[in-house]
Amino acid sequence: MHRFFAKEVLGDEIKLDSEESRHLAKVLRLKTGDEVAATDGMGKLYLAVVQEANPKEAVLKILSTQNTKEGSFYVEIAAAPTKNINRWEWFLEKSTEIGIDAIHPITTDKSERKVLKEERQIRILKSAMKQSLKLKLPRLSALQKFEAFVSSDFDGEKYIAHCHDSDKMPLKQHPKGTKALILIGPEGGFSIEEIKTAKKFGFKAVSLGSSRLRTETAAIVACHTINLINA
């Protein structure tokens, strides 16, 4: 069954945005009366029928609603976007498929990318959410500086993954059922000063394994590790 992102839910009706509406009417060529599914990105799945197959603003009529259960854990990744935008977008897509609650792009001392297109990122997240049958859209923050981000509050375990020699806890030892926030550095890694700053704000150094990983690979490994702990 085709699945769409619900722009607006009013009573027993769902309105789709222009992109979703065009896909419904022009690409899939769905007609009035065809059954579809939709999600609001906040945990609800709607079974519906097409009421208006308008390519500018399609309207669905809700037949039934299902609520997803809250997960027993929560994971956020703060990472420095890669110079090659394709690799950053790959991370957005795959982390959504695996299961992630929030993504925070950050700029660091060695960052090579300091501009991101928010609309395109959200489009990738929505597509990955629908494709993987997830019902929650990951929260995406605006690009922010490392120092400002690490000083913000987080109600859970905070980690920084880096390649410098030091005592590190394997991330796989993260306590099951607790919230996790993991910092992932740019292609040149975090600076010593950044690591010191993160530790000052309560971040613990962690290891993702014995291999040196690219930024987007490290972010995926971190995301998957927390999911695996709580599987």
In terms of domains, do 146 and 91 share one?
yes
In angstroms, the CA 96 to CA 134 distance is 8
* Pair 12, 119 in one domain: no
- Given pLDDT bands bounded at 50, 70 and 90, which one contains residue 164? confident
- If asked whether residues 219 and 156 sit together in one domain, one would say yes
Report residue 219: phi and psi, to 5°.
Answer: -65, -40
Q: Is the pTM of this model over 0.85?
A: yes
**Token representation of residue 193:** 């000063």
pLDDT digits (tens, 9 = 90+) for 37-86: 999 999 999 999 999 999 999 999 999 999 877 566 799 999 999 999 99
CATH code (residue 35): 2.40.240.20
Q: Domain check: are 60 and 102 in the same one? A: no
- Of the candidates 19, 16, 56, 23, the one whose C-alpha atom is nearest the C-alpha of residue 38 is 16
Q: Which of 14, 46, 67 is the last residue of a domain?
A: 67
Note whether 115 and 41 are same-domain residues: no
> Cα–Cα distances in Å, from 167 out to 93, 191, 204?
32, 16, 10
| 194 and 111 inside one domain | yes
Among 12, 34, 67, residue at a domain's last position: 67
The count of structural domains within the chain is 2
**Predicted confidence (pLDDT) per residue in 16-50, tens digit:** 999 999 999 999 999 999 999 999 999 999 999 99
Same-domain check for residues 97 and 201 = yes
Are 31 and 88 part of one and the same domain? no
Sign of CA dihedral 114, 154, 44, 9: negative
Pair 82, 61 in one domain: no
Asked whether residue 10 falls in the same domain as residue 91, the answer is no
Identify the domain containing residue 161 by its residue range: 74-229
Contacts of 112 (CB under 8 A, 6+ apart): 82, 83, 186, 187, 188
Are residues 149 and 113 located together in one domain of the fold? yes
Residues 96, 136: contact at Cβ < 8 Å?
Answer: no
| End-to-end Cα, the chain, rounded Å | 27
